[in-house]
Structure formats: C-alpha cells, structure tokens
Amino acid sequence: MIHSRITAKSQTTIPRAIRLALGLKPGDFIGYEIEGGEVKLKRYNPADPFENPFATFTEWADELDSVYDNL
C-alpha cells in the first residue's frame, strides 16, 4: 500500500508512484469518488463534458457572470 500523511492544514503530497501512474503534473486536476467507505483518486478534466456536465453551459459565460466564479 502506498501512503502519505495529512498536515495540520489538511494537505498531503501525492506520492510519486501515484503521480506517475496517473500521469499527473503540476496544475492538473484530480477527482475523488467515495464508494463504500473507500476513496478513489483519479485524473479530472473539468473541460470534459462527461466529467463536468456544466462545462458545456455557455448561458452564463459572459464577463458579468464571472463575478460568481470564485464563490
């Protein structure tokens, strides 16, 4: 089993073996799935409509609505 430690700020380092297996680089997104008391970590692409169905919604994609992006 590969493991890491959680800091006082609830942060952790993704071990090198995991980063290599998933092809993760700085700036990449990761997703978490909780199933039956276990958590799965996987690559996440926020632009992929199958992973983020709201990525294709352009109704609110103008400059005025961008104030809500960081809420």
Q: What is the pLDDT of residues 26-56, one digit of tens each?
A: 989 898 999 999 999 988 877 666 666 665 5
**Does residue 17 have a pLDDT over 80?**
yes
- Token duo for residue 18: 């995991």
What local confidence, expressed as pLDDT, does residue 11 receive? 94
> pLDDT value at position 20?
94
Give me the phi and psi of 38, to 5 degrees please.
-120, 155
pLDDT at 39: 92
* Both structure tokens of 17: 């073996």
User: In angstroms, rounded to a whole number, what is the distance separating the alpha carbons of residues 54 and 6?
Assistant: 31
Average pLDDT, the chain: 82
pLDDT of residue 67: 67
43's enclosing H/E stretch is strand 38-44
Q: What is the dihedral angle through the alpha carbons of 12, 15, 19, 25, rounded to the nearest 10 degrees?
A: 50
